[in-house]
Amino acid sequence: MRGYEPKILCVAQQKGGVCKTTSVLSLSAAWAMEGKKVLMLDTDPQANLTRNILDYEKVKKDISLLYRGEADIKKLITKTPYDNLYIIPTRTKLNRVENLERTLSTFNTLRKNIPLIAKRYRYIVIDTPPSLGLFTISALLAATHVLVPVQPTFFCQEGLGDLNETIRDARESNPNLKSVRYFITLYDRRTIISQDLAAVLRQQLGDKVFKTVIHKNIAVEESQYAQKTIFDYAPKSRGANDFKALAKEVEEWLENA
Ligand SMILES: Nc1ncnc2c1ncn2[C@@H]1O[C@H](COP(=O)(O)OP(=O)(O)OP(=O)(O)O)[C@@H](O)[C@H]1O
Ligand SMILES: [Mg+2]
């Protein structure tokens, strides 16, 4: 029998606005709906994930306390309005950690702390900022799997090389980082460029790209303003169906890679 293996998924891409936060929330919500306990970590000082699911003004304890070594990780876990779905939230003051405290122990914060609580959750999913700085690196040092959203735009390949290099560096210190996969997002069926670029990506990255494509769907954006998951806001929408399909594929990968 295989021993216990934590599944720690880091969603990363230094390009902004490519659906990192949306996929962290939607994938986690899909698994939670199936009765699996999921913990999300918001390591982006923009705090978008936190705002999407909690009342930001009421967030008192946030992940910056962990990075500063001032709180026990167990005390930071916060219930969301959804069953089985938990979050370690952030506030924008997390910016100050990045500015002041770039020591080795800050980079290793998640790697050191997540194992203390990992057994309680089937999946741990980390949202990262649009950069390859402290927080993305600290997530990569803790992760077992990395998921990269790619938007099929003219410049989408730019930066993937830097990201891969950062992942390679992280692997040197984190032997638990097993596997990297990509998915195509914000896909617009009506444009030829979306179709062409998606085909190019599949050609270059091969079976590292998941079959499911996340289409542009206004319900996804609206669900954010409503502070609901896509499954709660518009369960029959294209967005809900896309994310359900992606959750299935990603889960298979997490369980087997
Ligand atoms: N499938 C979709 N269809 C339409 N809009 C979407 C979709 N997915 C995400 N969006 C919207 O695109 C914007 C960016 O998404 P999101 O915040 O998830 O990206 P991000 O990569 O986390 O951004 P950042 O790099 O700033 O953290 C948001 O306004 C979101 O509502
Ligand atoms: Mg984000």
Phi-psi region of 98 (alpha: psi -120 to 50; beta: other; left: phi over 0): alpha
pTM above 0.85, yes or no: yes
pLDDT attached to residue 2: 58
List pLDDT tens digits, range 170-228: 999 999 999 999 999 999 888 888 888 888 889 889 999 999 999 999 999 999 999 99
- What confidence category does residue 103 fall into, taking pLDDT thresholds of 50, 70 and 90? confident
pLDDT attached to residue 29: 98
Give the ligand 1 atom nearest the CA of 218: 4
- Residue 41 confidence (pLDDT) above 80: yes
User: What whole-number distance in Å separates Cα of residue 93 and Cα of residue 34?
Assistant: 34
Ligand 1 binding pocket mutation candidate from 10, 11, 19, 220 (most atoms within 8 A of CB): 19
List pLDDT tens digits, range 68-101: 999 999 999 999 999 999 999 999 988 888 777 7
What torsion, rounded to 10 degrees, do the Cα atoms 167, 149, 136, 219 define?
-170
As its CATH architecture, domain 8-256 has 3-Layer(aba) Sandwich (3.40)
Average pLDDT, the chain: 93
Domains of the chain: which residue ranges? 8-256
Average pLDDT over residues 55-79: 95
202 vs 41, which has greater pLDDT? 41
pLDDT attached to residue 49: 98
- Residue 1 confidence (pLDDT) above 70: no
pLDDT attached to residue 135: 96
List helix spans (H) across 35-159.
48-53, 63-67, 73-76, 94-100, 104-107, 109-113, 134-142
Question: Comparing C-alpha atoms, which of 151, 110, 113 is closest to residue 127?
Answer: 110
pLDDT attached to residue 75: 97
Distance, CA 3 to ligand 2 centroid (Å)?
Answer: 33
Question: Comparing C-alpha atoms, which of 80, 5, 70 is closest to residue 42?
Answer: 80
Q: Which ligand is nearest to the CA of 22?
A: 1
The residue whose CA has the least distance to atom 30 of ligand 1 is 221
Report the range of poorest mean pLDDT among 8-12, 63-67, 193-197, 209-213.
193-197
